[in-house]
Structure 1
Amino acid sequence: MLSVRAIRIQTLTWATLAILFLISAPLLWAASPLVLGMVAALGAGMGLATKRVLRAYRGKRRRSMLTGAAVACSLVAAPLYWLLLQPALHPLTVPRVTLSDGTRQVVFQGMIHIGSDQFYRSVVYDMLRARDAGYVLYFEGILPGTPEATAWLNAAVHADGDLNAQYARLANACGLEFQGDFLNFVQRQAAIDPAHVVLADVSVTEVYEEWKRLVAERPELDQPIAPSQAAGQDLTLSKGLDFVSRLGGHQRDFLAAACRGAFTLLLGRGEDADVMNLVVLDFRNRKLADRIAAAAGQDIYIAYGSGHLAGLLEEMRKRDPSWQILSTTWTTAILPPDDATGRLPVQAGLLMFQP
């Protein structure tokens, strides 16, 4: 016969398990009803096995299975909820920094390869205002080069084929936008107004030539690239993207939300230490600082990857120590999609379309 205290503890335990299951089940169902069924079945089996092995209490077999199912669903859903909440709990922000040497201003707008449509549209709006105020707009984007240089760079960054195409597919899978689509606008504007819209980056050939120069000075940098390993990594990404393209609407929505959380975590860590940063970051920073120094008296608006800011400012101060930061603002780069819909509080007969 159970005591009153034991009954209360047992009731509280069952209530807690029920609440945890009710919280976790909708998330697993959103991923797929099959996922919910598999996790619940696995947990039920584990609960039954634990009951048989340990014989912890004299309960019914059904109770052990329900306990296992609830615990398993809760354990699986907890990290998923944590991942989905990252964009809200720890938003991925990029800086907009205004620099001045006392005579002119340089605005540095941090960018990322994959972000929210709202973020890119806000940047475009800000740039157009800067252009109308007389700023020259500088954009990143490594320019094309020779086939040899392109093949080397693709191998060095583990890209098989068109890296931009893979970024675009990944952005689509995550419910985000690819920076390259934004750069299409830039290229059109550069053709229309080359005096105020400048593709200020180096070419693939220049990057390759700089790498060969560094290797000649420091032979230890010349480490062979394992083609099979690089191809295997990219093949895995390609297969993953192919799998995503076959998912249903609800599954893709769930994956997009999880992907935004993953990007918030990964991109929030900053740049990893990599020998390729000698040319991908440092070399390009020097060239950009040279271009800024050559444009004496001109206000400039720069849209470059956020990872370039510290190195670029250092290079600018090497050429002119008077450069200082005037102000800094921050923008959230990954936001929920803005395709939400609602229902108008009017009679359906007044609508010429179906809501």
Structure 2
Amino acid sequence: MPSVTAIRIQTLLWAVLGVLFLLSAPILWAASPLVLVAVAALGAGLGLVVEWAIRSYRHRWRRSALVGGALACTLVAAPLYWLVLQPALHPLAVPRVTLGDGTRQVVFQGMVHVGSEQFYRSVVYDMIRARDAGYVLYFEGTLPGTPEATAWLNAAVDADGDLNAQYARVAQACGMQFQGDFLGFVQRQAAIDPAHIISADVSVTEMYDEWQRLVAARPELAQAMAADGANAGGLSISRLLDIVSGLGDRQRDFLATACRGAFTMLLGRAESQNDMNLVVLDFRNRKLADRIAADAGQDIYITYGSGHFPGLLEEMRKRNPSWQILSTTWSTAILPPDDAVGHLPAGADR
């Protein structure tokens, strides 16, 4: 290869490597300066080992160290950048579906347990408008059960104690909000107006009784659940959250950014096939469809997990084939953080 061509190619490769390093360095620095130094040092060491092993870059150890360090930073930062970009590239959209049977309407507002403050505020505003228009509000939230039933549910969903408290901790770790913090007014109003603001969910005891009925008919369900519990060893969610709570502010901010991307990706997937869905989804959908059918002639506004909608619509049509989708709108449940701080112009505070 002519020397001029070789120099041009080498210059281009060094420029590409430099750009990749400049892109990766900020995200590693955001995690911690020590992370950036450690990854760069590890990559430099690997580069030197490779140089020594193949001996093709003899007398060029500085170049090998630079190439190894830059490549290591790029490879470590690439998946983190991918996570950070997920909310923008593939936003988590939840539906607001209006159904009608010719005599009344049912609005289904899809929800997520953990999301952005803007999303929950818009849902609350929509609920207030629906209430003022005469709709009955149905909201999700399993009712308390016996200690035995509660212990069974916690084991089934790998929770340590109060599920709502765990969701709230996850939301805090991810820089988002827990839906219960915004829908609390509904529960308070339910005590004042129980005829129009209703906790339409089942109790934990009802779920447990349904599981016992299913296991009596299909004993293999209990064996499968026991096997899942045996394979779920390692760090629990609560232990991971304890670790997160011990991180510094810089590390928690970095983790929250990556966490929003992970939630966007995971919640955007279709519901996994799981035996617990027989109770967590199917049973609750049937009970909700029964309640809607019993509340004949009444317009209803429902806030339930988005994963419930396909099964709920199927159950509603079993009871009344006239139900049709009238309209569908979408909203983004996970957005950038809401705690941005700017600076007012000089003298604006006077």
Q: With structure 1 as the length reference, what TM-score do the two structures score?
A: 0.94
Tell me the residue number matched to 1:270: 270
Of the structure 1 ranges 155-164 and 134-143, higher mean CA displacement relative to structure 2 is found in 155-164
**Which one-letter code corresponds to 2:27 in the other structure?**
L
Q: Structure 1: which 4+ aligned runs deviate by more than 6 Å?
A: none
Tell me the residue number matched to 1:333: 333
Structure 1 residue 149, shift from structure 2 partner: 1.2
Tell me the residue number matched to 2:56: 56
Match of residue 349, structure 2, among 344, 348, 351: 351
Tell me the residue number matched to 1:320: 320
Q: Deviations over 1:68-103 (max 9, x none)?
A: 101111111111111100000000010000000011
8 Å contact 2:108–2:309 — kept in the other structure? yes
Once residues 229 and 260 of structure 1 are traced to their aligned partners in structure 2, the CA distance between those partners, rounded to angstroms, is 29
Once residues 31 and 289 of structure 1 are traced to their aligned partners in structure 2, the CA distance between those partners, rounded to angstroms, is 47
Once residues 342 and 22 of structure 1 are traced to their aligned partners in structure 2, the CA distance between those partners, rounded to angstroms, is 26
8 Å contact 1:99–1:326 — kept in the other structure? yes
Q: Does 1:171 align with 2:171?
A: yes
Once residues 288 and 61 of structure 1 are traced to their aligned partners in structure 2, the CA distance between those partners, rounded to angstroms, is 69
Q: Deviations over 1:259-317 (max 9, x none)?
A: 00000111111211111111111111111101101111100000000011000000000
Structure 1 residue 59, shift from structure 2 partner: 5.0
**Which one-letter code corresponds to 1:102 in the other structure?**
G
Instruction: Tell me the SS of whatever aligns to 1:137.
Output: strand
8 Å contact 1:95–1:329 — kept in the other structure? yes
**Which one-letter code corresponds to 1:351 in the other structure?**
D
Q: Does 1:216 align with 2:252?
A: no
Any stretches of 5+ residues in structure 2 without a counterpart?
none
Tell me the residue number matched to 2:226: 225
Any stretches of 5+ residues in structure 1 without a counterpart?
none
Instruction: Tell me the SS of whatever aligns to 2:252.
Output: helix
Q: Does 1:187 align with 2:178?
A: no
Equivalenced residue count is 349
Q: How does 1:290-309 map to 2 (within 5 A)?
A: 290-309=290-309
Q: Deviations over 1:184-243 (max 9, x none)?
A: 22211211222221000011111111111222222222226269748845x432222112
Once residues 151 and 58 of structure 1 are traced to their aligned partners in structure 2, the CA distance between those partners, rounded to angstroms, is 64
**Percent identity of equivalent pairs:** 76
**Which one-letter code corresponds to 1:138 in the other structure?**
Y
Once residues 238 and 333 of structure 2 are traced to their aligned partners in structure 1, the CA distance between those partners, rounded to angstroms, is 25
Once residues 214 and 321 of structure 1 are traced to their aligned partners in structure 2, the CA distance between those partners, rounded to angstroms, is 27
Q: Does 1:288 align with 2:298?
A: no
Once residues 155 and 231 of structure 2 are traced to their aligned partners in structure 1, the CA distance between those partners, rounded to angstroms, is 7
Q: How does 1:1-355 map to 2 (within 5 A)?
A: 3-58=3-58, 60-223=60-223, 225=226, 229=230, 232-233=233-234, 235-345=235-345, 347-348=346-347, 350-351=348-349
8 Å contact 1:215–1:221 — kept in the other structure? yes
Instruction: Tell me the SS of whatever aligns to 2:328.
Output: strand
8 Å contact 1:155–1:230 — kept in the other structure? no
Structure 1 residue 57, shift from structure 2 partner: 3.6
**Which one-letter code corresponds to 1:121 in the other structure?**
R
Task: Provide the alpha-carbon RMSD of the alignment.
Answer: 1.8
Once residues 304 and 340 of structure 1 are traced to their aligned partners in structure 2, the CA distance between those partners, rounded to angstroms, is 30
* CA pair 231-57 structure 1, distance change in 2 beyond 3 A: closer
Structure 1 residue 33, shift from structure 2 partner: 0.7
**Which one-letter code corresponds to 1:213 in the other structure?**
R
Of the structure 1 ranges 208-217 and 260-269, higher mean CA displacement relative to structure 2 is found in 208-217
8 Å contact 1:158–1:230 — kept in the other structure? no
**Which one-letter code corresponds to 2:220 in the other structure?**
E
Instruction: Tell me the SS of whatever aligns to 1:53.
Output: helix
Structure 1 residue 154, shift from structure 2 partner: 1.4
Once residues 272 and 65 of structure 1 are traced to their aligned partners in structure 2, the CA distance between those partners, rounded to angstroms, is 45
Instruction: Tell me the SS of whatever aligns to 1:21.
Output: helix
**Which one-letter code corresponds to 1:236 in the other structure?**
S
Q: With structure 2 as the length reference, what TM-score do the two structures score?
A: 0.95
Once residues 241 and 214 of structure 2 are traced to their aligned partners in structure 1, the CA distance between those partners, rounded to angstroms, is 36
**Which one-letter code corresponds to 1:135 in the other structure?**
Y
**Which one-letter code corresponds to 1:105 in the other structure?**
Q
Once residues 65 and 219 of structure 2 are traced to their aligned partners in structure 1, the CA distance between those partners, rounded to angstroms, is 63
